[in-house]
Structure 1
Amino acid sequence: MPAHPDFIARFEAGLRGGDLPPGLTARDPAEVERRFAVYRNNQAVGLSQALALRFPVIRRLVGEDFFAALARAYAGVERPVSPVLAEWGAGFSEFLDRFPPLAAYPYMGDVARIEYARGRAFHAADAAPVDPAVFAMADPGRLRLGLHPSVTLLSLAHPAVSIWQRNQPGAGAKGALPAGPETALILRDTTFDVPVRALDVGEAALIGALLEGATLAGAAEQAQAALSDHNPQPLLVALLRAGAITHAEE
């Protein structure tokens, strides 16, 4: 028998369609290859199903049969490194960016980035929301806000938020898609829902500045520099209602 690392490597190669790993036995030796083929197929189906659960909009966009083939192709270049399959798929968006059959659909990678970020947001650490009363006497020039660990800001090259929203259960087409890039705000709210919101340039600047540790006044100034008539209040209220502001310090 080969050493353990060698056996693992050869077993992995066998799962990818290579030669059978050494040491496999069966009561009928002629059955070894057939039985391993069944195991190989079950493993491929399991990976495809795990990826479909993590990227349901991609599956909807390309169709079930195409997605099954896509998942097999992805599994051939990036295997799970953890027994927790929900953690698999970090490189799926980049894989879609480079996948020749999807060259005519360049937004696919950005949609996958949204879906992967939603999974990470759902499993993010817990953090108690701040008491809104702290804003009553706070000095915006000194106040720094901490956002929930689930809060994610994604700069996307395509209108992927709009595409994602249109492919949610019960959603329907609502005219032409917006042109150009979108910025997505993703977070886990107090009901454990993970909404996706498209931000304008002012809102994106505000969230980005807060994530970088700017004061509230400084973040508002950056938002107004990006969008002259930007009003930070509606977004801040939305963050408070979602429980996404977790501390406020002067």
Structure 2
Amino acid sequence: MNADSFAHALLDPEQPCPSGLRAWNGSDPAQRFAVYRNNVLASLINALADTFPVVRQLVGDEFFNGMARLHVQATPPRSPLLAFYGEDFPAFIRAFPPASGLPYLADVARLELAQVHAYHAADLPALDTARLAAVLSDPECLPGMQLRLHPSVAVVCSDHAIASLWAAHQGLLDLAEVNPGQAECALVLRNGLEVEVSRIGTGTAAFIQALAAGNPLGAAVGTALAIDAGFDPGSTLARLLAGGAITRFTLHSGSQMP
């Protein structure tokens, strides 16, 4: 018996008990292995339920548990850290035929996964906002300035109302008033110890994504304005600063300001 065959049998109830197993008291190892198998499957399903609570609420416990069980069997953990288990779950949902009637479900899962990543992102020292404000007051510095975003920052865009659906399941909106077919973008960031999720416009989303890709401020603003002529860089920067989303800036001369 090798580790691969044991793991395969552990996640597939149709597989027989691996040969070579012995119970210390002489009891039937198949019965003991079945109990172990059920415990492992249940723990992995519960791990997915902890990561994707809104997905679970949207489909109900029975549907979620059945879908999660199939995912567990198809994609076992690759790491002992179960907090990160579920990286492939959004893609699995998107390709899962019984979930095709809920086209927003996979993107809601992407949003929830981004929350988990934000919660576990590295800590960085707070930005000296007074020094940044002084630099921002000099128009000549702005176009070439690069802003480094906090590792927790993520933007999730969808053809569906993922931010509103998420908010409704936190009691922040009335679910009956949410139009799932409305395209939305969501900003995820960890502000202190709290992971925040907020709805943002397409211009703001493009701006943040451009900054995350290393584009200087002027280019990022241009990208945003090309998508949304009403984009306001001032209010967006203020929002990012208030949320602790900017950790460092670099001037065009190459000097870094922590």
State if a TM-score over 0.5 links the two structures.
Answer: yes
Conserved in 2, the CA contact under 8 Å of 1:203 and 1:235? yes
Q: One-letter code of the match for 1:8?
A: A
TM-score by length of 2: 0.88
- Distance in 2, matches of 1:171 and 1:235, equals 23
1:207 corresponds to 2:205: no
- Distance in 2, matches of 1:54 and 1:89, equals 8
- Distance in 2, matches of 1:27 and 1:146, equals 58
How many percent identity over aligned positions? 38
Deviation at 1:170, TM superposition (A): 6.0
Q: One-letter code of the match for 1:33?
A: A
- Distance in 2, matches of 1:174 and 1:68, equals 25
Poorly superposed stretches of 4+, deviation over 6 Å:
none
Conserved in 1, the CA contact under 8 Å of 2:118 and 2:152? yes
Distance 1:85 1:166, change over 3 A: same
Deviation at 1:137, TM superposition (A): 3.0
Conserved in 1, the CA contact under 8 Å of 2:164 and 2:178? no
Match of 1:13 in 2: 8
- Superposed CA RMSD in Å reads 1.7
Match of 1:135 in 2: 133
- Following superposition of structure 1 onto structure 2, how do residues 90-169 of structure 1 map, counting pairs within 5 Å? 90-133=87-130, 134-138=132-136, 139-169=141-171
Match of 1:243 in 2: 244
Deviation at 1:95, TM superposition (A): 0.5
- Distance in 2, matches of 1:203 and 1:74, equals 34
2:21 to 19, 24, 27: 24
Conserved in 2, the CA contact under 8 Å of 1:156 and 1:182? yes
- Following superposition of structure 1 onto structure 2, how do residues 25-104 of structure 1 map, counting pairs within 5 Å? 25-27=22-24, 29=26, 31-104=28-101
Paired positions, count: 244
Conserved in 2, the CA contact under 8 Å of 1:128 and 1:243? no
Which ranges of structure 2 fall in alignment gaps of 5 or more residues?
A: 252-258
Conserved in 1, the CA contact under 8 Å of 2:158 and 2:184? yes
TM-score by length of 1: 0.91
What secondary structure does 1:195 align onto?
Answer: strand
Conserved in 1, the CA contact under 8 Å of 2:187 and 2:197? yes
Q: One-letter code of the match for 2:133?
A: F
- Distance in 2, matches of 1:174 and 1:195, equals 23
Q: One-letter code of the match for 1:249?
A: T
Conserved in 2, the CA contact under 8 Å of 1:13 and 1:19? no
What secondary structure does 1:48 align onto?
Answer: helix
What secondary structure does 2:177 align onto?
Answer: coil
Q: One-letter code of the match for 2:197?
A: V
What secondary structure does 1:34 align onto?
Answer: helix
The worse-fitting range, judged by mean Cα deviation, of 202-211 and 23-32 is 23-32
Which ranges of structure 1 fall in alignment gaps of 5 or more residues?
A: none
- Following superposition of structure 1 onto structure 2, how do residues 160-199 of structure 1 map, counting pairs within 5 Å? 160-169=162-171, 171-173=173-175, 175-177=177-179, 179-190=181-192, 192-199=193-200
